[in-house]
C-alpha cells in the first residue's frame, strides 16, 4: 500500500507539489520557473493581488514571495495570508533585494519559513525549497499515519471525526438520506481467548476488508473506531435499499466461514450491526444519531447477534423502527 511506503509516496508526490512565485519582475519569475518546472508545478504571479487570488484557487504547497512590489508589498500580502484560514499554514519564503537584518527579521516574524537574498543562486534557492518540501512531505505522511489504523489499514476514529461530519453536512445541504451505523464483531473476546490474539488480528483484517469492499460498492465508508468496532456510513435511496446493503454486509462475513468453536461446534464468526437511516438536518446532531445506532446495536447484542437493527428516522426525526435479520 502506497501510504506505508515512504519512498514510493515521495516519488509519486514529487510532481504534484505546486510552487507559487510572486514577483513584479518578469525576469525573476522566468528564472524561478526554470529552476522548478521540471520537477514541480509552477504558478507565477506578477503582483500581490493576483498572488492572493491564485493562492486561494490553487492552494500551493509553498510560496516564493518578493518583498518590494508596487501597490502592495510582500510583507502586506504575508499578513493577509496569515489571516486567512485556508492560506495561513502554507509555507512562505521571502526572496528579496532588501539586505537589512531588520527586514529579514520582520519577514521571519511575520511567519515566513525562510528568507533568501537577491541576487540569489539557483543552487541555494533549489536546495532551500527542496528542504521545505521535504518537511511538508514528512508532515503529510505523519498526518496520514495519524488517520489510519495500521492493523486493518482502515481510516481510524480521528478520520471518522473529520469525514463523517463532512458527509453529514453535504447530505444536509442536498437533503439526501444517509445510513450511519456501527458494526461489532460477535464474541470477539472469546475468539481471542480461544485462538490467540494473532488469529484475532487476522479475523479483524478479513472483516475490515470484506465490509470495506461491500460498502465501497455503495459509495460508503468504514472506519475502525475501537478494538472490534467499526463505524460506517453510506448514501441510500430508502429504508428497503438500506436493509439490503446491511444484510449484504452481514452475509459477507458469514460467507467467510471462519470457525468460532469457542461459541459452539459449528459456529462461525459473525457481526452485529446497529444503524440509523436519516436525512441529515440541523435539528439533530450526528453524535445523537450514533448514540441511537449504538442502542440498536445493543438490542442485537442482547438477542440473537449476527443480525441488523435499522432505525429509520423521518423528516421530523421521529423513529420508525424496521428490523431485519
Ligand atoms: Mg520586486
Nearest to 46 by CA among 62, 34, 61, 32: 32
Q: Does 100 map to a domain?
A: yes
Which of 147, 169, 199 is the last residue in one of the domains?
147
Measure 15 CA to ligand 1 centroid, in angstroms. 28
Query: What is the per-residue pLDDT for 200?
Result: 97
Q: Indicate whether 188 and 82 sit together in one domain.
A: no
> Chain centroid to CA 33: how far?
31
Residues 166 and 243 in one domain: yes
Which CATH number covers residue 295? 3.30.70.270
**Based on the structure, what is the number of domains in the chain?**
2
Domain that holds residue 294: 157-324
The rounded Å distance from CA 32 to ligand 1 centre is: 13
- Report the C-alpha gap between 16 and 245 in whole angstroms: 37
Are 181 and 114 found together in one domain? no
Going residue by residue through the chain, which has 325 residues, state the pLDDT in tens, using 9 for 90 and above: 333 344 444 444 555 899 999 999 999 999 999 999 999 999 999 999 999 999 999 999 999 999 999 999 999 999 999 999 889 999 999 999 888 889 999 999 999 999 999 888 899 999 999 999 999 889 888 888 899 999 999 999 999 999 999 999 999 999 999 999 999 999 999 999 999 999 999 999 999 999 999 999 999 999 999 999 999 999 998 777 999 999 999 999 999 999 999 999 899 999 999 999 999 999 999 999 999 999 999 999 999 999 999 999 888 888 775 555 4
- As a whole number of angstroms, the distance between CA 269 and CA 206 comes to 11
Tell me the CB-side half-sphere exposure of residue 127, using CA atoms within 13 A: 6
Question: Is there a single domain that holds both residue 113 and residue 239?
Answer: no
Residue 152 belongs to some domain of the structure: no
- Tell me: do 138 and 161 sit in the same domain: no
Give yes or no: 71 in active site. Answer: no
Expressed in angstroms and rounded, the spacing between residue 57 Cα and the centre of ligand 1 is 23
For the packed helices 48-58 and 74-83, what is the interaxial angle rounded to 10 degrees?
30
Domain boundary among 93, 112, 147: 147
Looking at the fold, whether 142 and 161 belong to one and the same domain comes out as: no
Are 178 and 317 in the same domain?
yes
The CATH number of the domain holding residue 97 is 3.40.50.2300
- 133 in a structural domain: yes
Q: Is the dihedral of CA 39, 40, 44, 48 positive or negative?
A: negative
Boundary (domain end) residue, out of 114, 147, 180? 147
Does 80 share its domain with 209? Answer: no
Asked whether residue 170 is assigned to any structural domain, the reply reads yes
Distance 64 CA to ligand 1 centre (A): 12
Residues around the ion ligand 1 (C-beta < 5 A): 24, 66, 68-69
Q: How far is the CA of 122 from the centre of ligand 1 (A)?
A: 18
Q: Find all residues with CB under 8 Å of 141, minimum gap 6, and list them.
A: 6, 9
Alpha carbon of 69 to ligand 1 centroid (Å): 4
Q: How far is the CA of 73 from the centre of ligand 1 (A)?
A: 8
Among residues 217, 228, 282, 295, the one annotated as catalytic is 228
Q: CA 297, CA 288: separation in Å to the nearest integer?
A: 14
Instruction: Tell me whether residue 38 is exposed, middle or buried, using C-beta atoms within 10 angstroms of its C-beta: 0 to 12, 13 to 18, 19 or more.
Output: exposed
Q: Is the Cβ–Cβ distance between 48 and 72 less than 8 Å?
A: yes
pLDDT value, residue 141: 86
Residues 211, 100 share a domain: no
- 143 and 162 belong to one structural domain: no
- Whether 103 and 162 map to the same domain: the answer is no
The torsion angles phi and psi of 35, rounded to 5 degrees, stand at -70, -40
How far does residue 96's CA lie from ligand 1's centre (Å)? 7
66 C-alpha to ligand 1 centroid (Å): 6
Cell of 196: 490467540
Asked if 137 and 165 sit in the same domain, the reply is no
- Cell numbers linked to 175: 437533503
Amino acid at each position: 500500500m502506497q501510504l506505508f511506503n515512504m519512498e514510493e509516496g515521495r516519488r509519486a508526490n514529487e510532481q504534484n507539489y505546486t510552487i507559487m512565485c510572486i514577483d513584479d519582475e518578469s525576469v525573476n519569475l522566468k528564472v524561478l520557473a526554470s529552476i522548478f518546472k521540471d520537477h514541480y508545478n509552477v504558478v507565477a504571479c506578477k503582483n500581490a493581488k493576483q498572488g492572493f487570488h491564485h493562492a486561494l484557487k490553487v492552494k500551493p504547497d509553498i510560496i516564493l514571495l518578493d518583498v518590494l512590489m508596487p501597490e502592495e508589498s510582500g510583507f502586506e500580502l504575508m499578513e493577509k495570508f496569515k489571516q486567512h484560514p485556508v492560506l495561513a499554514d502554507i509555507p512562505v519564503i521571502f526572496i528579496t533585494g532588501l539586505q537589512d537584518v531588520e527586514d529579514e527579521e520582520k519577514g521571519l516574524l511575520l511567519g515566513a519559513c525562510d528568507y533568501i537574498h537577491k541576487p540569489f543562486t539557483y543552487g541555494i534557492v533549489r536546495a532551500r525549497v527542496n528542504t521545505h518540501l521535504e518537511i511538508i512531505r514528512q508532515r503529510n505522511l505523519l498526518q496520514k499515519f495519524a488517520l489510519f489504523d495500521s492493523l486493518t489499514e482502515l481510516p481510524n476514529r480521528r478520520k471518522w471525526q473529520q469525514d463523517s461530519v463532512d458527509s453529514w453536512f453535504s447530505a444536509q445541504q442536498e437533503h439526501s438520506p444517509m445510513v450511519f451505523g456501527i458494526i461489532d464483531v460477535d464474541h470477539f473476546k472469546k475468539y481471542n481467548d480461544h485462538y490467540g490474539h494473532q488469529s484475532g488480528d487476522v479475523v479483524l483484517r478479513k472483516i475490515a476488508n470484506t465490509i470495506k469492499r461491500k460498502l465501497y460498492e455503495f459509495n460508503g465508508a468504514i472506519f475502525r473506531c475501537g478494538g472490534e468496532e467499526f463505524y460506517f456510513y453510506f448514501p441510500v435511496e430508502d429504508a428497503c435499499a438500506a436493509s439490503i446493503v446491511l444484510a449484504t454486509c452481514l452475509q459477507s462475513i458469514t460467507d467467510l466461514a471462519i470457525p468460532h468453536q469457542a461459541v459452539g461446534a459449528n459456529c462461525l464468526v459473525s457481526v452485529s450491526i446497529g444503524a440509523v437511516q436519516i436525512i441529515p438536518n440541523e435539528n439533530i446532531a450526528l453524535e445523537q444519531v450514533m448514540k441511537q445506532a449504538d442502542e440498536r446495536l445493543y438490542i442485537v447484542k442482547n438477542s440473537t447477534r449476527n443480525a441488523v437493527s435499522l432505525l429509520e428516522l423521518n423528516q421530523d426525526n421521529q423513529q420508525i423502527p424496521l428490523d431485519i435479520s
